[in-house]
Every structure is written in structure tokens, then in C-alpha cells.
Structure 1
């Protein structure tokens, strides 16, 4: 009971002490006349300081938010400023690209006027030079000799006298790769072959005896190899990972000529796109091969 009374007494003493008002007076030093005075307690002093601090914080925040000072704060860049910076960067990049194109164009014009650059060789400016789809790539000397030798070999081929438009008597077509046909031959949509889903890097086999007439890379079809066969057939193998033969190589039916891959923009997975052509016209490979 005595402890409780003592605690209450201390509490009353504390509130009395912080609420007790002190008088602060200012006197004229000459006349000792009181010029100004005010009363202030500890509680009112703490309250005044707290209010002043809150007001100062609020005013500072308001100045930062409403004035350009906010752009100097880390991570607080205005969206419009960011957008303008991005647009300026894009404009600078476009101007740099246009300057490069114009410089290359002027360089080609100077070459043509001075006679140092053949006209047909100007094919470097992708946005200005028109690429003719019918552009005939000149044959090299080795390619011309190979074509001439092949035509001489075929000159006395009696198979051309066969009235059957697609002769297949006595011909066995090897399956080019082991797998599942994922897309069939559809000439209406210009899909002149079959897609065979297979394991990556599995061997691709030549379907008949023949001679390799083309090997190369196509942006859409990846690594491509073509084999000309003496009976008028031409087989084409696309999207290969690796080509094992070169132009002019003679291959036998069932010989590995490439590895299954996923090359080219039109490929969506490891597979072989296989086409079979007869005298310049596509035929359905599934009519001749059991996949």
C-alpha cells in the first residue's frame, strides 16, 4: 500500500515538473525595464520542437516533389526524362546507321564512276540495293567442268526412252533416317517433302546411288545436301547438323551423308526434311519409301 502511494506520488511529481511553467524575461540593460517575457514549460517546449520538426520535414518533402530537385535523387528520374533519353538514343543510333549506309552508297558510286567496281558486284547495302530473286550466280570453272562431265555421262543413258514417266522398276529406295513422319508432303502449301523427327546427330543416309551436286547453308533450311541420281531422281536433305560429303563425291545407297540437326529458321526441333524430285518436278517420297 505504501509502495502504491509512493508510485502515485512520483507520477504526480513528474507531471507537475514537466508542466511547471518557467518565465523568460528580457530587460533593458540601461533602465532595467522588462521589454518582453513569456512563460514556457518543458511539455510545451517538447511539443513545439516536435511540431517544428514535422513542419520542416513536410516542407522539405514538398520542395523535393514539386521542384526539379527530385531528378537529382538516386533512382527518382522522371518518366518523361527517361522516355526522352531513350528516344534520343534511338535517334542517334538511326542517324549512325543512315550515315554508314550513305557512306557505303557514295563509296559504290565513286567506284562505278571511276571504273574500279563492277556494277553487278554492288550488293552490300541491305536497305538500298534491290536483290533480284532471279539473280544468276555465275558458275566457277570447276563447277562448269563437273556439269559438262556429268552431262556427257548421261548422254547415252537409255533410261530416258522408258515410257514410264517415273521409272521405279528394280529400284530400292533406302529410308534416309529412322524416325517418325511429323509432316507429310503437301504441294498446295509448297511443302515438297516430308519431315522426319529423329534423334539429334543420327546418320542421314543416301536413298540411292548418286553424285553430290550441292552442299551449303540456307538461312531457312540450314545445312542442305542434294544428290543427283542417274535414273532422273534428285534427293534433297535439309536442316542437317553436319554435312559429311562434298560436291562431286559419289555415294552409294545407304551411305551416311550427313547428321540430323536443327539448323535453319524453319526448323523447330531435330528432324530431317527430305524431298524427292524427278526431272525437275517434286514427287511424294511416301509413294516410294516406307517410313
Structure 2
């Protein structure tokens, strides 16, 4: 017990025993600065300095932009911006998906890739779950009157008036003799214009190219989307001068006339006009003869 107390006393004496720290001039041995220190003072100063250094570091990280340079930390502004950009990208992807689906359906119709099975598949699937015995197929008096009224009107009269209301000046894509007229009965939704080989084909109005590629039946095909739901199609070309996504002006050369594809018998332009997904007769709005 006495030995333990003696040891503690020696330790306390060592802690409070005074030392002098002297800084001398190496050449003249002149005393410049001197400090009286104890081991307890050194330990206390070291602990205090460490505490202050840690506190200062925490404050710098928490309340200054310096934390952005530390790996693993990011600013709230960057997080907010990243979140906003992610939402915008997601919205743009949805818009692009809808546009691609729309262009794909138009491409199938204009290139003749839509089959009867594709068009009627939804109807077939739905009617499989309906019993014919539970369906009343008889027409009401109102329905009969409506059918009679519709039959008396031109089938595409509404579409034709819609084009006139746009007040668009449609430019003839090429001048020449019409070899095949627009005929709904045989599903020829276009006019075939006979022209010489390598004749320039021009855009009928301002718009954006939504399809520019080769198809087996109609060769090199170019489709342009215009304002007011109007779409024009140019088929059997020898060469396409515009790509998908290009902006074109009225009368701008977009292709070279040719005789490509399986469904052709000579150099000509197969020209179609569509409004809101329905075909209209191009001759009602454009004069192709010189």
C-alpha cells in the first residue's frame, strides 16, 4: 500500500515538475525565447489542440462547400438537380415511346405491312368471351336513320374539308401524267405519276421526315409529317436524299424518281396524302399535269 502511494506521488511530481524550453542562436548561443513547462501542461495543450482541430474540421465539413471535395459527400443542390434531370429523362422517354409507337403504326399502314390478322386480333380476342346468344344484333330506328344519312354522304368528305381548313399550299412533288388514279375500292390510296428517270422529287409542304428507308414492295420510301395532321408519302424512288428526322421545306428536293420495289411497272412516283390517319385523294388539292 505504501509502495503504491509512493509511486503515485512520484508520478504526480513528474507531471508538475518544471522544465525550461530554451531557443538559442546556434552561432552566438544567445537565448532568444524560453518557456517554463511541465509534463501536465504539454499533455493539456496537446489535448486542447487536438480537440480544436477536430471541432474545426467538423465545422468546415458541415457548414462550408469544402465538403463537396470530400469523397462520399455531395451537395443538396446537386442531388436536387440530379433528381430533376432524372424525372425529365423519364418524361422524355415516355414521349419518345409514344411517338415511336405512332410512327411505327403509320409506317406499317403506308408500307402495306398491316395484315387483316393484325387489324382484327383485338376484336377476335374480345368476342371470344362474348356469347352470341346474349347480343342483340337488331338495329334501332335511330341507328337505321343514321346509317341512311351516312350512306348519302361522301365517305371522305369530312377529311377533305379538314385539309381545306388548314389553308396549306401543297406543292406538286413532280409534274407528269397520272397513270393510276386514287381508288378506295382497290385500296390504291395514291396517284401514280409517270415521270422520267432521275427526275427530282420535291416536298409537297414543310415538315419532318419520319421514315426514309427501303421496303421490298415499294422500294425506297420517304414519308413526311406536316402540320395539321397531314402526312405525305413518296414511293418507288431511285434514291433518297433525306434521312429520318430531317426538316424539309416546301419544294425542297427530297428524292430521285425511280422504279424500285416489286410493285412497280415503270419509272413513276407513287404519291399518297393522309390526314389524321385517313387517306385523301391528292388530285383534289394538287395539279400534277404541266
- TM-score, structure 2 length as denominator? 0.45
Q: Which has the larger radius of gyration?
A: 1
- TM-score, structure 1 length as denominator? 0.44
